Structure 1
Amino acid sequence: MIELCELLKNWPCTAKGGDFRALVSGVTDHSAEVTPGSVFVARKGRSSSGLDHIQEALRNGAVAVVTDISRPPALPKGVSAVSVPDAADFLAYSCSAFYGHPSRELTVFAVTGTNGKTTTTRFIGQLLKSCGIRAAVIGTLGVWIAGRKAPLQIPPMTTLPPAHLHRVLRYCADEGVTHVAMEASSLGLSGRRLDHCSIDYGIFLNIGTDHHAEHGGEEAYLRAKGRLSDLAGQIIVNSEDPAVLSITGDRLPVKTFGEQSGGETHLRIVDNGKGDWIITAGETHAGIRAPVEGRHNRLNAAAAFASLMAAGFGLADLCKYAARLSLPEGRMQEAGGAGIRVFVDYAHTPDALEAVLSALSSVCTGRLISVFGCGGDRDREKRPQMGRVAGEYSDSVWVTSDNPRSEEPARIISDVMEGLKNSSAMVRAEPDREQAIRGAIYEADPGDIVLIAGKGHEEIQISKSSSRPFSDFRTALRFLDEREAEAGAADGDDRVQTTDRFWYDGSGME
C-alpha cells in the first residue's frame, strides 16, 4: 500500500478533489480490474479509450482517475482527478512505483525479435539455473522460476502490461530471484509496457514479417522493435541481420553474435556437420555436442551465450552446461509412432516456418509433410509467403485453419494457396484443423516427418463463432495412437485414405 500523494510526488501532474492521503490498493488501466482504493488510468488504447470506462472504475471503488486530456471529466466528491502529460507513460511509472520499483533489484534481460524470443529466454533461464542462479523467465508460456511454473494469475500475453509486469517482478524479487529473462514483443514495446522497467540487457535476435497490420505498417513495426535499444542499458545484437542493425542505430552493442567471424566482442557459433557446435569468443574456442536441432535454435543459443557473457559469465561454464538446454513446449516438440516422427512448432511467420522446415529436411529420410494455416484479421501479406516456403521444402502440404478469428477460413486458405501455385508438392486444403492433422498423420509412411506449425503451445482455436479448446500436440498424439491401434488390428496395410474438402489445381478454391 502507498499513499496517493507518495505515488504522485515525483511526477508532473495537477490534481484536485478527493483525499491525497488515501491509501492506494493498486494501479490499473482496466476498469474491470479496479478494486476499492485503486487508481484508474484512463489512457487511450488501440481499440478504445479509458475515458469510456471511468464510470465502471468509479463503481468498482477507484479513489483517483488519471487522464491526459485538457478538460478531464467531473468526478464525484471524494475521488481525485489527476491530469498528467501522458497517461501511458504515467501508467508504466506508477505501476513500477507502487510495487517499489522491483526491476531495480534484479538483473533483467529483455529479448526482442520476430522469431525465437521464447526459446532464447528459456535458454537464458536454463543456463542461469545450471550456474546456480535463481532466475525467472517471463513470456508467452507464463512465468517460470528456477524451471518451475509460478502460481500466478496473469493474462496470456507475450509482454505483460505494467500492472501485471511489476507485480510479477515484485513476486520474483521476494522469492529470491536475482535474474529475469523476459520477452519484449513489438506490441509490448509500442504500448509502453516496458517503460520505467530497469532493463540491463536488450537482446535483438532478428526482424521478419509479423504484426505489420497491427502497427500500421512495416516502418512502425521496426520503430516499435527499436524502442528496446533506448530502454536497455546495454544491447546484444545479431550482427548478421541488416534490419536489426538498422533499428539499433548508433548504439554500440556490448556483444554481437552470429555465424561469421567477428572481433573481440563477437560470439560465433557454427555447426561442424558432425552434430557439434563450435563456439568462438575472442581468443576462446569451445566445442559442444549440439543439444537441439536447427540453425535457428543454434542462433538462439548464441544469443543466450552472448547475453550471459555480457553479464559476466564465462564461456567455459556456459559450455559445460549447454548439454542441458532443451526447447520450450510447442517448439520442435516431438511425438512419434509407427515409424513416423511428428513435430509441433509455433512457427507462424515465413522466416520461422522456413527455419523449422529447413532443420527437419536435413534429418528427414522420407517425405516431409507440413500442416499449417495463417491467423485471421492480420498480416495478410505473409500468407502467400508462408505458402511458398511450405511448398519449397515439403513433399506434401495440408493448408488449414490457424486462428481465423473473424475472417472466413476459405479466404485465408485461398491467400496461402497463391504462394503454392508453382510448388511440386502435393497440396491439400482442409479448413478443419483436426482433420488436416489426421490426414497428414495417416498419409505418412515410416521414415516420413510431419510438421504441424503455427499454434505450438496454444490450447485454444479462435474463430468467428467461438474459442474452443484445441491442442496440436494432443491432437497429434490421439491420431498417432489411433493409427497404431488400427494397424495392430489389421492383417495388412489398413491405412485410411482421406477425402479432401478442397483441392488446389492452380486456379483457386473449389
Structure 2
Amino acid sequence: MRLDQLLKHFSYESVQGSHDLIITDICYHSGKVKRGSLFVCIKGQYTDGHDYIMDAVKAGAFAVVVDESCMVNVRWECFIYTEHGKVRVHELVRNYGMAVIGVKDTRQALAQISAAFYDYPAKKLKIIGITGTKGKTTTAFLTAGILKEAGYKTGMVGTIWTYNGKDVKKAGHTTPESSDLQRELAQMVSNGCVCCVMEVSSQGIKMQRVEGIFFDIGVFLNIEPDHIGPGEHASFAEYLYCKSRLLRQCQAGIVNRDDRNTEKILFGHTCDIETFSVLGENGVDAPGQKADIVAERITFSMKEGRLYSHFFTDGKEEFLLQMPGIFNVSNALAAILVARHFKIAQDVVKDALQRQTVPGRCENVRISDKFVFLVDYAHNEMSLRNLLGTLRGFDPGRLVVIFGCGGNRSKLRRGRMGETAGRLADFTILTSDNPRWEDPELILDDIESGIKGTSGAYIRIADRRAAVAYAFDHAREGDIIVLAGKGHEDYQEIGGVRYPMEDKELVKKAAEGRGR
C-alpha cells in the first residue's frame, strides 16, 4: 500500500520525506523489520522504540512513525531525541530515502495504521469481546464452542492461543498488539471465519490494542483489585475505567449483575445492556430485580473422578458443565446470552456447553482413583478464593493447594493470596510461579506474611517440581489437590529466561515416578 493512502486514515502532525513509498508491512519491533516496512516507535515498560530507529533503518524500513514530542527543531534542523542520543531527520530523508511521520500518540497511530493496512477486517466479522478480572478464557471457550457447534466458523484471540480459522498460535499477550491483532483478524477473514471471540484485557484497552475495533457484543464478567502496580495499572480506579471502556465500544453489552462494581462499569456506556445472574433477585447490583437470565437450582457433583456443575434457566432448561463452581456457571450464562443474539437452538447450546473443557482451567489430570488432581490458572486472590470455595463444597477429605505468585507484578496480591489459602485450604504448599527477575524466596516471604495470620497448615518448597512431588508423597484418599497459578502455560520464567515447564506434565511425571 502506498504511504499517501495510509496517511488518509490517521491523524498526524507532520510528514517529512516522500509520500509515494510502497509500504509492505507494519512493525513495532525493530527485529522484525524488513525492506519496505513502516516502523512505529511505541514505548513499553522497559524499552522505547525510538531508541531502535537506526536498527529499523538498517533493516530496510521505508518509513518511521515517531512521537511528535521527541522531535525538536534546532535552528534549521529537526532531530529525534532518544535515550541513546539524537537522530537527524534530514539524514533519514536524504541518505535513506525515508519518510518520517510525527504523531501525538504512536500507539493510537499503530492501531489506526494497522486497521487501514489490513483493510479493516474487524468490520467483516461478528466480534465478541470479553473482559473481566477472571473468567475471560473460560467464557471465550464456551462461547466459541457454542458458535462452532451451531455452524459458525469462529476465530479466537486470547490468553491460551490465537486461532485464525486454520492455524493455532500460542499467545504472547491476552490481547495482542494492535498490528498483530489486525493481521490475525485479516487472516480470519481470509480463512472464511464469520465470527471472532476475543479476550479483551484491561492492558489491551489501556495500550490501545483494540483501538478502532467496534465490537458487536461486549461482555463484562467481574472486577476486583488486581493488575495494579508498576507496568500495569496505577490504581483500581484506572483499572475499572479501562474495563468500562469496552461498553463504550460495542453495540450490545452483556453484564454480570452480581458484581458489586457493575454500576461503575456501566457509567457512560453507549450500548444496549442485558444482564445475567447466579444470585437471582438477591443480586448485589439491583436487589429485587431479575436479570435477563438467571441460574437456578445450582448443584455440583463428582463422578468417575470428574467434577460437574448442574443448573437450570428459565425455570426449566437444564444445563451441565464439566467445570465446577458458581463462577463457571456465571461464565456459562454469559455464553448463553451471546448465543441468543445468534438465535442458536437451545439443544445446540446445551450439547456444546456439556462437551466443552478449557486447558488449564479446573482441568482434571486423571492419575488416581483415590484423589482428584486439578490444574487451574487461578493467579489472583479473587480467582483463588472462588476456586477453593467451590472445591470445599465437594466435601473433600482434605483440600490441598499448591501455588506461588509471579515476580515483577503487583505485590499486593501475594499476602492476600496467602491469607485466602490459609483460610480455605486444609494444607498449602507455597512454591514458585514465574519469579521473573525477583528472588523466588522473597516472593514466598510476601505470601507467607499473609498465611501466617491464619490457622492454615503450610510448607514452603520453592522448586515447583519438588512441590508437586511432595503433594503426591503425602496425598490421602479423598483429597482434592489443586495446582494453581499457571494453568495452560508451558514455561517458567526465571531471570528473563523461559524454561520449558507445564503443570499438567509435572503432575503426570510425578505420578509415573511414584508408580501411581
Confirm or deny a common fold (TM above 0.5). yes
1:404 counterpart (416, 430, 435): 435
Aligned pairs for 1:320-469 within 5 A: 320-338=350-368, 339-464=370-495, 466-469=497-500
Residue equivalent to 2:167: 150
Q: Distance in 1 between matches of 2:475 and 2:243?
A: 40
Does the alignment pair 1:267 with 2:293? yes
Say which of 312, 319, 327 aligns to 1:278: 312
2:24–2:36: 8 Å Cα contact kept in structure 1?
yes
1:293 maps to 2:319: no
Deviations, residues 79-105 of structure 1 (Å, cap 9, x unaligned): 011122322111101101111100000
| 2:19 aligned counterpart, secondary structure | coil
What residue in structure 2 maps to residue 99 of structure 1?
118
Cα RMSD, aligned residues only: 2.1
Deviation digits for residues 336-370 of structure 1 (CA, Å, limit 9, x no counterpart): 33422110100001111112112222224311111
Number of positions where the alignment pairs a residue of Structure 1 with one of Structure 2? 477
- Per the TM alignment, residue 265 of structure 1 is displaced from its structure 2 partner at its CA by 6.4
**Aligned equivalents of 2:502 and 2:482: distance in 1?**
14
Report what 2:286 is aligned to. Answer: none
For 1:212, which of 220, 225, 228 is the aligned residue?
228
After superposition, what is the alpha-carbon deviation per residue over 1:408-444, rounded to whole angstroms, capped at 9, x for unaligned? 1121111111221243332101111111111112111
- SS at 1:182's partner residue? strand
8 and 285 in structure 1: CA distance in 2 versus 1, 3 angstrom threshold = farther
Moved more, 180-189 or 35-44: 35-44
Q: Which moved more, 1:44-53 or 1:454-463?
A: 44-53
| Distance in 2 (alpha carbons) for counterparts of 1:297 and 1:394 | 20
Partner residue of 2:128 out of 103, 106, 109: 109
1:141 aligned partner = 160
Deviations 1:166-189 (A, max 9, x none): 111011011110011011111111
- In 2, are the aligned partners of 1:65 and 1:80 still within 8 Å (CA)? yes
Q: 1:306 to 1:238 in 2, by over 3 A?
A: same
> Residue 44 of structure 2 aligns with which residue?
45
Displacement of 1:317 in angstroms is 4.4
Matched, 1:233 2:251: yes
In 1: Cα distance, 2:384 partner to 2:430 partner? 13
Q: Which runs of 5+ in 1 are unaligned?
A: 486-510
Per-residue deviation, residues 448-497 of structure 1 (Å, max 9, x unmatched) = 11110001111111122743111111011111122226xxxxxxxxxxxx
CA distance in 2, matches of 1:323, 1:39: 44
CA contact under 8 A between 2:321 and 2:356: conserved in structure 1? no
Whole-angstrom CA distance in 2 between matches of 1:477 and 1:151: 25
Do 2:137 and 2:159's aligned partners in 1 also have CA atoms closer than 8 Å? yes
Corresponding residue SS for 2:188: helix
Amino acid at match of 1:161: E
For structure 2, list consecutive stretches of 5 or more residues without a partner in the other structure.
72-78, 81-88, 282-288, 301-308
**Equivalent position to 1:172, from 158, 164, 188:** 188
- What per-residue deviation string (whole Å, max 9, x for no partner) do you get for residues 56-89 of structure 1? 1111111111123153531232101112232211
**Distance in 2, Cα, partners of 1:270 & 1:411:** 45
Residue number in structure 2 paired with 1:197:
213
Q: Over residues 102-133 of structure 1, what are the superposed CA-to-partner deviations in whole Å (9 max), with x where a residue is unaligned?
A: 00000001111110111111111000011111
TM-score normalized by the length of structure 2:
0.88
Comparing 418-427 with 20-29, greater Cα deviation is found at 418-427
TM-score between the two structures when normalised by the length of structure 1: 0.89
Q: Which residue of 1 aligns with 2:83?
A: none
Q: Contact (CA 8 Å) 2:115, 2:121: kept in 1 or not? A: yes
